[in-house]
Structures are given as structure tokens and as C-alpha cells.
Amino acid sequence: MSGRGRGAVRSEVARVAVLQATAAQLAERGWDQLTIEGIAAAAGVGKPTIYRWWPSKSALIADALLEGILTPPSPVPGDTGDLRVDLVAWLDELLRLSADPESTALTRSLIAAAAEDEVVGRRLDAADPTSRVLTERLTRAHERGELAASASVEMIVDALIGAFVLRVLRRAVHAPGEAEALVETVLADQLG
């Protein structure tokens, strides 16, 4: 008896090939056209190998992201001391990225992966620094009195990121002044 557990030993070369194929296929085809068959063919492995290691294409995407093989653009807000200016600059950059078809397709794919699988959604959220950095920036602003004492940092973060996600899903065209208008709307009655 060899002492090995049941099932095939996971080859590191095959694992990396599958994750790289996932990233390449996702960039080329998007979430809707991403298939386990296509990933397996591109990676040079069998479909059963993929299903033995990952339960879904969402799990594949999450692992590719966590391994750094799949890297979505993720701008973070600066801290110049002027909350409104920092948020407008950050959101404007995000909205400009949403005009790029490749970035938008990747963002929509990640949203779909997170929506399909709760665990994957939590892993993707933990891997993306945007929410954490935005929360930290708003917390510092709150501590400095830039936000009203009653302002909810969590609600502001949800509203700003939610506005971006909704615009990506709607395939909305970025218009000049849009970031400023969104920030003004979200921060109405929230400033100190």
C-alpha cells in the first residue's frame, strides 16, 4: 500500500495551466462563453480533472484571482485631505475603466462568479482591496470630522461601490461630471 489518499495527486503544473487557461478564456470569451470544456482543452487536461479540483467555473475564477493570475483593475481612493476630491477622482477612474470593454467584461464576470457562489463571493471580496481601502479612507475622514457624526461609513461604501457595479451591469456610458454627481448625491447630508 502506497499510503496515498484516494484520487489523483494534484499536479502543480496542471493546476497552474488550468488557472492560466481560465484567465485567458475569461478575457477572450467572457463569463457567458466560459466553459469547463474550453478551459480543459486550453490547459491540456481532462474535464474530470478540473471538476475533481474545482466545483465550478466560479471557483476557478476565484482561485485565478487569488493566485494573481487574473488581475482586475482596482483603483483605490487617495487621501489628499479633501474627501470629496478624493472620492470624485477615484470614482471617475472606476467609471472610465467601465468604458474599457476588456475591464468591463472581467468585472461583469467577477460579479457573476460572486453571485453564483456565496463562498466565491466572499473570497473575491476579501481579495479585492477596494472596499477595505475605501472604508479606511472614509473612516479617517470620519475621525477628522469631514463626515457628520451620524454618517455611516459602511452605507457610503455600499452606495459608491454599488453605483459602480450597477453601471457596469447596465453597460452605462461614462459621462463627464458623472462621478462628481454620484459623490454629491451619496454624500448629501453626510458631510461634517
User: In the chain, what are the domains?
Assistant: 12-66 (1.10.10.60), 83-187 (1.10.357.10)
Name the pLDDT band for 28 (thresholds 50, 70, 90).
confident
Q: Which long-range contacts (CB under 8 A, 24 or more apart) does 28-36 make?
A: 30/105, 30/108, 30/109, 31/105, 31/108, 31/109, 31/112, 31/113, 34/109
pLDDT for 172: 84
pLDDT for 192: 66
0.75 exceeded by the pTM?
Answer: no
- Greater confidence, 192 or 121? 121
pLDDT for 68: 81
Backbone φ, ψ for residue 164 (5° rounding): -65, -50
Summarize pLDDT for 98-129 with one digit per residue, the tens. Answer: 777 777 777 887 888 788 888 878 887 887 78
Distance CA 86, CA 105 (A): 26
